[in-house]
Amino acid sequence: MSSTQRLPLRDRLRRTRERAGNGAGALLPGTGSGRRRITVVESFNYAVEGIIHVLRTHRNMRIHFAAAAVVLILALWVGVDRMELVVLLLAIAFVLIAEMINSAIEAAIDVATSSFDPLAKLAKDIAAGAVLIASINAIAVGYLVFSGHVSESSTNFLDRLRDAPIKVTIIALILVIFVVIATKALTGRGTPLRGGLPSGHAAVAFAAWMAVTLTLAPSEHRFFVSTIMFAVAVLVAHTRIEAGIHSTLEVVYGGVLGAGVTLVVFQLFF
């Protein structure tokens, strides 16, 4: 191990700061006797820069931000009351803070260690676990807040489609598969069962979610079952991205295609 690697973390950070000079992005403004106090405006700017950095470099943070935006828009649409909005904001903040702390811990560990360390891995795993707990809590809060609002606003529409026979569901799924294969044939990308635009797995998964949602009665815990089916469809789509088989665009297109075709079939034939 070199002498630089044996230096304490504080000394290595000081050397990094000295190389950066006094420009933007330095760890501390000024060096030695020329060090000056950071103003309130500068502190605010550094905080915003930290948020922007996490958004640029961490995919999970971008996902959390997008989910938070969707939740807030949905809250305005369904008309949640003040207390429900407070609970949603707290849950959102909890997730974002946990994700940023996790990112900061990972960065600090990467700076402090130059080789694999079981304790460093354990620290990262614990920080990731904290994010997972915060995310599960946010999902539970979102379900408790929106379940009543969404189920009430969608009852009339879904009741109109509830009693569709099973053959309509089967026809809808078959049509989804046909449209997926036809689209892949037109784009010339991938095979019928692997890769290309759109994702057939995502299309079928979201078609099944839509069919289940439209065929359940309110007394059959429609919103709860629909939420579970939607989560399963999202997991199916996510595995296709993680496996490198499809891009995010291909999966999203497949999901929209599957759900859309199924909804059209139910509206036209029932």
Summarised one tens digit per residue, pLDDT across range 74-86 is: 888 888 888 988 9
145 and 181 within one domain: no
CB atoms within 10 A of CB 123: 17
* Pick from 161, 150, 162: nearest CA to 227: 150
202: enclosing H helix or E strand? helix 200-215
179 and 253 within one domain: yes
Domain that holds residue 57: 52-150
- The reply to whether 1 falls in a domain is no
Give the chain's count of helices (H) and strands (E): 10, 0
Task: Count how many domains the chain has.
Answer: 2
Could you report how far apart the first and last alpha carbons of the chain are, in Å?
73
- The reply to whether 109 falls in a domain is yes
98 and 65 within one domain: yes
144 and 179 within one domain: no
At 88-131, the pLDDT tens digits run 999 999 999 999 999 899 888 888 887 788 888 888 899 889 99
pTM, to two decimals: 0.52
* Pick from 226, 224, 205: nearest CA to 161: 226
Q: Which of 42, 49, 84, 99 is catalytic?
A: 99
Q: What is the DSSP string of 46-90?
A: HHHHHHHHHHHH-HHHHHHHHHHHHHHHHHHHHT--HHHHHHHHH
Please report, for the domain that includes residue 79, its CATH number: 1.10.287.3610
Question: Which of these three, 124, 150, 176, is where a domain ends?
Answer: 150
Task: Round the CA-based radius of gyration of the chain to a whole number and report it.
Answer: 25
Q: For residue 242, indicate whether it is catalytic.
A: no
Q: Is 80 exceeded by the pLDDT of residue 62?
A: yes
At 192-216, the pLDDT tens digits run 556 667 788 888 888 888 888 877 7
- The reply to whether 27 falls in a domain is no
